[in-house]
Amino acid sequence: MEYFNDEGKNVAINFEYQERRYLYKGIKRIFDFVASFIGLVLLSPLFLIVAIAIKIEDPKGPVFYSQIRLGKKQEPFKMYKFRSMVVDADKHLKELLDENEIEGAMFKMKEDPRVTKVGEFIRKYSIDELPQLVNVLLGNMSLVGPRPPLPREVKEYTEYDKLRLAVKPGCTGLWQISGRNDVGFHEMVELDLKYIDHRGFWFDMYVLFKTVGVFVHPNAAY
């Protein structure tokens, strides 16, 4: 089956070949498991510091936040993050949809009033994303892959957009190292399809290496 983007360009990705890459997928899973386990151990002091900071700012609120996301082939799973917003943030989302600052099936707002002071800092340096290492350990995410979308976002997807869900989602990817919130939804889809077409062990290492640079020099994350 052929797919075309908004400009009528044909997608030339051989998805059947990508699905048969058993050696790469096996190595990737082993690396994900080992790296996420080591990461969780080494980052445990940082986890403790962030947890204390969140509790000091809001003693009654939880430290972690979980949300249903869609992974490979739209399989739902619970994704974990450090809580960076007020407790009832989801209830106020509808009130802010008209102020969305990114085109397409995503919501981003630079001055989001729901973000806490601690949340603003940990979002800037992507520290809020670190608990997703648990998702990697469990196997419903990979270290590198497309960003896992919300179910309400996928409802707005075209068949072309859904191609980005052909592989396991990741903690980081080409979108995150290419400007993140400065990159629109349609450009994100193109980056994800580029990753799917070219993915391999060394390409994953390249993305992870670039991600370290993003932690040190944040690229417009909010």
Query: Per-residue pLDDT tens for 60-72?
Result: 899 999 999 999 9
Would you say 18 and 24 are in contact if contact means Cβ atoms under 8 Å apart?
no
pLDDT in tens, 158-216: 989 999 999 999 999 998 888 766 678 888 999 999 999 889 999 999 999 998 887 76
Chain Cα centroid distance, residue 134:
13
> Token pair of 138, please?
């469990």
Q: Residue 122: how many CB atoms within 10 A of its CB?
A: 23
- Assess whether pLDDT exceeds 70 at residue 130: yes
Overall average pLDDT of the 128-153 stretch:
96
Residue 3: predicted pLDDT: 56
Residue indicated by tokens 């089956």: 1
Per domain, the residue ranges of the chain are 13-214
Q: CB-based contacts of 108: which residues, under 8 Å, 6+ apart?
A: 100, 101, 102, 181, 222
State the Cα angle at 87 between 85 and 88, rounded to 5°: 105
What's the whole-model pTM score? 0.85
Residue 108: predicted pLDDT: 66
Q: Is 195 exposed, middle or buried (0-12, 13-18, 19+ CB in 10 A)?
A: buried
Residue 74: predicted pLDDT: 95
Residue 17: predicted pLDDT: 77
Taking the CA of residue 177 as centre, how many other CA atoms within 13 Å lie in the half-sphere pointing to its CB?
Answer: 22
Burial state string for 149-173 with b = 16 or more CB within 10 A and e = fewer than 16: beeebbeebeebbbbbbbbbbbbbb
Residue 87: predicted pLDDT: 83
pLDDT band (50, 70, 90) for residue 104: low
> Token pair of 33, please?
């498991």
Most confident of 10-24, 25-39, 153-167: 25-39
Euclidean distance between the first and the last CA atom of the chain, given in angstroms as a whole number: 37
